[in-house]
Structure 1
Amino acid sequence: MDKKKILICDDDAGIVDMAQLILEMNDFEAIGETNSLKLYDRIKTEHPDLIIIDLWMPVLSGDQILKRLKSDEHFKSIPVMAISASNDGYQIAMQAGANRFISKPFEMDEFVKAAHEMVAH
């Protein structure tokens, strides 16, 4: 069986590295990106089964990317998990079109469980 591919975008390289490690330990193919401006092109080339995106990134924020993805016929069906330490992160993520939201810092078990559930569609 092919591994499910997950694309993680956060401007914090430490979060990206940790998420990649956790996901790879749980039999996912994990691809990291720290530059939100490159994310859309990475989605086009990588064809992920799930996108995990930080809401608050410089230049192009996660909610801006989410709105663009969810309005694009080619990408709107890709599930997106938004992550953020912001108090209003859940509301912003849902309004932008996220399928799920997890607060940072997150528990590894919760993170992996959510990823499994989201790619099982």
Structure 2
Amino acid sequence: MTEKKIFILDDDKDILDSMRMVLEFKGYKIDTSANPENLNSISEKAPDLLLIDLWMSGVDGSDICRQLKDNVQTKHIPVVIISANVNIKELSHNCKADGYLSKPFEIDELLSTVQQYTRDA
């Protein structure tokens, strides 16, 4: 199995650090950012999966997801929206996300979701 690359975008440093620690322990290569502007070079980073928080300070994760899915260079990258919003299923569908993960989530839920979207075809 090739090492899968995951990019996590969340404005909560504790969440970023926790997810990084868990996923790196499982063998994933992790890149994190609390700054959505770092997504400008996402096609160069070529992640196998994007995990994006829905609501960050001054930024709407669904807008970011929609932009990525409308871009020819990034639309193939699976995007999973992360949020505590009760309407997360509908919101993730509306922004063309491939899936969602409800906060708070268990480690097993995170790992299962990541495996689902990084599994080799």
Q: Same fold by TM-score, threshold 0.5 exceeded?
A: yes
* Matches for 1:14-25 after TM superposition, within 5 Å: 14-25=14-25
Name the aligned partner's letter for residue 74 of structure 1: Q
The one-character-per-residue Cα deviations of 1:75-103 (angstroms, maximum 9, x if unpaired) are 00100111001111221111101111110
Q: Displacement of 1:39 after TM fit?
A: 2.1
Sequence identity (%): 35
TM, length-normalised to structure 1: 0.93
Structure 2 residue aligned with 1:10: 10
* Matches for 1:40-119 after TM superposition, within 5 Å: 40-41=40-41, 43-119=42-118
Name the aligned partner's letter for residue 40 of structure 2: Y
2:47 aligned counterpart, secondary structure: coil
Query: How far apart, in 2, do the equivalents of 1:3 and 1:33 lie?
Result: 20
Query: How far apart, in 1, do the equivalents of 2:3 and 2:64 lie?
Result: 25
Question: Quick check: 1:7–1:50 contact (8 Å CA) kept in 2?
Answer: yes
Query: How far apart, in 2, do the equivalents of 1:20 and 1:40 lie?
Result: 21
1:11 aligned counterpart, secondary structure: coil
The root-mean-square deviation of aligned C-alpha atoms, in Å, is: 1.2
Structure 2 residue runs without a partner (length 5+): none
Name the aligned partner's letter for residue 14 of structure 2: G
Q: How many residues align?
A: 120
Structure 2 residue aligned with 1:39: 39
Structure 1 runs (4+) deviating above 4 angstroms are: none
Say if 2:26 is the partner of 1:26.
yes
TM, length-normalised to structure 2: 0.93
Question: Quick check: 2:43–2:73 contact (8 Å CA) kept in 1?
Answer: no
Question: Quick check: 1:37–1:60 contact (8 Å CA) kept in 2?
Answer: no
The one-character-per-residue Cα deviations of 1:35-84 (angstroms, maximum 9, x if unpaired) are 1122232x133110000000001233110001101100110010011100
